[in-house]
């Protein structure tokens, strides 16, 4: 039984490596855009489709609080859906989002459940960082040059969810390191 556990862990680590390795450059781009925004007085609005709203709230807590290094809180707001709303997250984005703010949107696949939020962000002149899974080429055609796409190549719900959590933590770490000048 112990061998089964070891094999399962090794298999998961191997799968995560295959899904996450191609995200190194997009992660640097996304972290740079987020840091640039907050250093220039902008904020990050973060939302997640359905169960991904928990990941969005987790990211906001880490950025307002701290991740692994002591630093001032950063202006990151986790958005909540309004009951009965026909356009998820659009209303708070229109109320809070300003030109050059960041919308960090997290979806299970594509931009499912988030199209109204993405449209509202475009209306407000915001930069979009989209964390999702699916076909990169299809999603890139909808992104602007200032946007960042973190698109995981997997159909496994479990694997995508685990990888998205690792990406959130990596974004926090990259932002902290750049903000605090940590090079190690």
Can you give the C-alpha Rg of the chain in angstroms?
16
Binned at pLDDT 50, 70 and 90, residue 88 comes out as: confident
pLDDT in tens, 134-147: 877 777 777 888 89
pLDDT digits (tens, 9 = 90+) for 8-66: 999 999 999 999 999 999 999 999 999 999 999 999 999 998 889 999 999 999 999 98
pLDDT at residue 87, rounded to an integer: 81
CATH of domain 2-180: 3.40.50.10490
pTM above 0.85, yes or no: yes
- Whether the per-residue pLDDT at 123 is higher than 70: the answer is yes
Does 7 or 111 have the greater pLDDT score?
7
């Amino acid at each position: 039984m112990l061998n089964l556990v070891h094999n399962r862990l090794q298999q998961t680590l191997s799968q995560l490596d295959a899904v996450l390795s191609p995200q190194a450059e997009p992660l640097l781009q996304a972290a740079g855009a987020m840091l640039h925004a907050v250093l220039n007085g902008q904020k990050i609005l973060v939302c997640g489709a359905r169960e991904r709203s928990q990941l969005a709230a987790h990211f906001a807590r880490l950025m307002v609080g701290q991740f692994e290094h002591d630093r001032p809180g950063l202006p990151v707001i986790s958005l909540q859906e309004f009951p009965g709303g026909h356009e998820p997250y659009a209303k708070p984005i229109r109320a809070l989002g300003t030109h050059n703010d960041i919308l960090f949107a997290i979806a299970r696949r594509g931009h499912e459940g988030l199209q109204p939020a993405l449209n509202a962000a475009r209306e407000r002149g915001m930069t979009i960082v989209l964390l999702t899974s699916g076909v990169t080429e299809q999603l890139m055609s909808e992104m602007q040059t200032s946007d960042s796409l973190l698109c995981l190549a997997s159909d496994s719900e479990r694997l995508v969810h685990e990888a998205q959590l690792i990406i959130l933590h990596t974004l926090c770490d990259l932002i902290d390191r750049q903000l605090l000048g940590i090079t190690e």
